[in-house]
Structure 1
Amino acid sequence: MKIVDVCAFYSPRGGGVKTYVAQKLAIAERMGHDITILAPGDDNAIVEFNSCARIQTIASPRFPLDRKYWYFNDEPALHAALDILAPDFVEASSPWRSPLMVANWRPETPKAIVMHADPLSAYAYRWLEPLVTRETIDRKFVKYWAHLRQLGQRYAAVVCASDDLASRLKAGGVGNVVTVPMGVEAHRFSASKRNEDLRASLLAQCDLAPDATLLIAAGRLAPEKRLPMLVEAVTIAGRHRPIGLAIFGEGREDTNILRSICRNPHIRLFRPECDRERFACILASADALLHGCEAETFCMTAAEASASGIPVIVPNRGGAADFARDRMGLSYRAADRADLVRAILALPDRFATRSNGGTVQAMNDHFAALFAIYRELHLSELSRAA
């Protein structure tokens, strides 16, 4: 099957979506599909990964709030690119304006939208929930809910990676919602990759001895990730026992995060670890993953940490929460610094928290399920047209 993924969130310097795209390009070929990632970029270009997989960019403006990203603003150019590619199935991956552009192209071609973002949680709930109830916020954002319901009508499937988001969309009247959990790279993340020397080295860079607790945080440095809250909570918890926090990431919040760290020698901000094998070793060598974002649609880092055999300390809402349920992990009230401190201090001794790795499905299984849905919808459309 020939699939085009109109991926508004792709960036060569991105986080989870970039990782997801790289895995999709590799796995689609093995599953016998031809796939094009159609993304906005600085210019019109094509990067071939193999004979069946490529990234094609359409010249587009930079996103003003985060210059690592672009946004589609030319519907005719997008339609022209789709005309040339002539896919059997189209996937969109943004809940903003671009899926309406995609929906307007050849209505007879089946389409799905993958919810790689949850704007209500990332923005509306995060900004307003300290002041008013979620129900009140939803009423104020009735136009956005109408937009989501329109997407549910115009797309054959609205794909969510977690039950949390799927259940909220269904409750809001969005149709055609299906849950297809994501996964991790097969054989990449494992408790067997624990490295005591690496762990001691990271703790030493946090000015701590090997008997201290090592926490890891990783991902985009964006406001919804709540990194300053993590820093403050670790600083408070560190008054009770030696705790180091190694943060791996980059983004527009780096100045605020460094300001939060201030002169705390036990918290370090590192650049993203782009070597996936080394990152797997870093995760397996930590004592827990610390995460602050309640707006995750899945939370790839929490999945990778679970597969690496370490506990996760995550908010009790959003996709990350799934990894503290029925698995080894701790949750805290989302956006509640005091409760996060409690969860950090509740982390048992590091030797008591080890496991052989959580039962997180492989990404191969995710794509097998996703492409099976796409094939069924494609064949259904062919049957209807006949």
Structure 2
Amino acid sequence: MAAPSNPPRAVVIGGGIGGLTAAVALHRRGWRVTVLERARSLAPVGAAISLAPNSLRALDVIGLGDEIRALAAWQGDGGLRTPKGRWLSRSSAAAAAERFGGPLVLLHRATLVDALTARLPEDRIRTSAPATLADPGDADRPARVTTPDGEWEADLVVAADGIHSAVRRALFPQHPGLAYAGFTTWRVVIPVPGVEFASHETWGRGRIWGTHPLKDGRVYAYAAAVTPAGQRAPDDEKAELLRLFGDWHDPIPAVLAAACPEDVLRHDVHHIAEPLPAHHRGRVALLGDAAHAMPPTLGQGGNQAIEDAIVLAHHAPDLAAYTAARLPRTTAIARQAVKVARLNMMSNRAGMAVRDAVIAALSKAAPALLLRGFDGIADWRPPGQPYASEQTPAGQQ
């Protein structure tokens, strides 16, 4: 189909994964898209991202799903452990792929960003371009965005400006905003030569640790601990991790030994506890963390941003339909992430003993029950598109 002579214009504020996915999806649907990113480059500060079958199917819509499956590490068998190393439950990659129609994969965020940017014309991305929403527009006038270099008018503005979104505050000034989730996180991506291990997450008293291999041979590890907001280690964050996790089971000590202090990223976790009244106003659509920041305990933050982007492009310019499709789903998932955080960050010893006993019993009696927590999440399918992943047998790598 020939492109229209005067295609509608979209401006995307934010060049993260959600914003870039939206830009690619809108570009493929005939929109003229410009991405405005305040940083000097799109190189993400961060670590790895876990993509579940729901977001991989969303990426199939823009022709990227199979490329990402090939670039990523398919998360294999693993499970949940105690700090001393006892397995509470075992997870089966094949069982998960069969239940949800595809694999769970892990890759560095930079790999996904590079794949997304490769699908946009070079002149559509502008870095060092901080953007401010000047007017959300309405049915009779375009939205307006200002930058130090001038003003942009757009039929659609996609606000993918992150958890501290200025656009969200401008659209909904009465909303209470972010709440502290009660814990902080650390992340590292490093080589750990000579260490073999099964993927795992380990739950301790008000603390968790996870270790997973990447396809390029590096290790992605993350940790979290209950702590007051704003605290930092008196020396460095590697030393803090050694104090908190240095006596936990292998391979955690080896990962910590291989890490340098500058490898460790630390961020307090905030979320939107009270859902927004809508994910749009005027000609502006909020996307990803700007719309529904959630704790990372389900690994769905980035996945939901990708879903948002595909659904937005499907419905645009009908933003009421976008809100109707996304607000109930993301609200439910965010609430579930909060519930899981209360469970895995538990500090009460008696409660922990009951929790661990129940998980171990369920794992032995009916392993599939532990997968039910992702029913309705990982099996989501994007609207009105064929799904390339359906042509890939479950479990095939």
Same fold per superposition (TM over 0.5)? no
Give the structure with the higher percent helix.
1
Instruction: Name the TM-score class by shorter chain.
Output: 0.3 to 0.5
Compute the TM-score of the two structures, normalised by the length of structure 2.
0.34
Give the structure with the higher percent strand.
2
